[in-house]
Amino acid sequence: MATLSVPPPKGGSKNHSRYPPKIGWDVGVNKVYVHTSMLSMALRCEVRPGPEFLTRSYTFHSNRHFQALQHYYTESSCEDPAYSLMIRGKIRLLQASWITRGATEAEHHLSRVGIVLHSVAAKQRLASRLPPACVSLSLNEAVPGKPYELYNTRAGRACLAAMGFSVMEMGLVRVEMQHHSHGGEVQELFLGDIHTDWAQRTQHRPTGYQQPLQNAMVRFSHCN
């Protein structure tokens, strides 16, 4: 096992602006198999309806388990971290999509969702968006900088839905290998699109894609 640690921003430098304060997350180091084991990550700040500003990375293992880190920010340059979500679950590939050419349909099961708040202000902003019951159950005990469990298999998902959280994007998967003119290769992971209406996200069945993520394990292998 290895620890995936995300470095903190340093003095507002653009080179570090996408990364929130350090978070420990245990991930297994696996050989790369297309569709079954990869570490895929966003290379830029993404904008989702809401608006939401985030960077994300996903680790897929050959035993079908996955782990994800989603880092949320207060503005579109991703320089001011608000909170991070740590997600664990399992994904099962089903069959080729009848609607989206080249895609594979899949189903997922969440096992755990944790949150790390990066400031008191971020905690207050998030609390203002949630029903009072979710604040008392989920956020009152959360301390900035420390992981707090939002969801496990024994708890309901009502508070996750109130946050606009969903991983229905896992319902549609596509992997492509991109060849560059200089001879390098990059493996890209496409996940399903996100519904523009928060209230519909937990029921949305994607038919399109978000911006692709790059498989860091394949991309970095060409630097040796």
Helix (H/G/I), strand (E/B), else coil: 117: strand
**Judging by beta carbons within 10 Å of its beta carbon (0-12, 13-18, 19+), is residue 25 exposed, middle or buried?**
buried
* pTM, 2 dp: 0.77
Average pLDDT over residues 209-217: 83
Average pLDDT over residues 155-184: 81
Residue the block writes with tokens 């905690």: 123
In whole angstroms, give the CA distance from residue 39 to residue 69: 11
| % of the chain surpassing 90 pLDDT | 32
Q: How many residues does the chain have?
A: 224
Domain boundaries, the chain: 2-221
In whole angstroms, give the CA distance from residue 74 to residue 72: 7
In whole angstroms, give the CA distance from residue 88 to residue 179: 31
Average pLDDT over residues 103-117: 93
pLDDT in tens, 41-82: 666 788 888 788 999 988 888 889 999 999 999 999 999 999
pLDDT in tens, 5-30: 333 333 333 334 444 443 333 322 23
Q: How far apart are the first and last CA of the chain?
A: 22
List beta partners, residue 116. Answer: 84
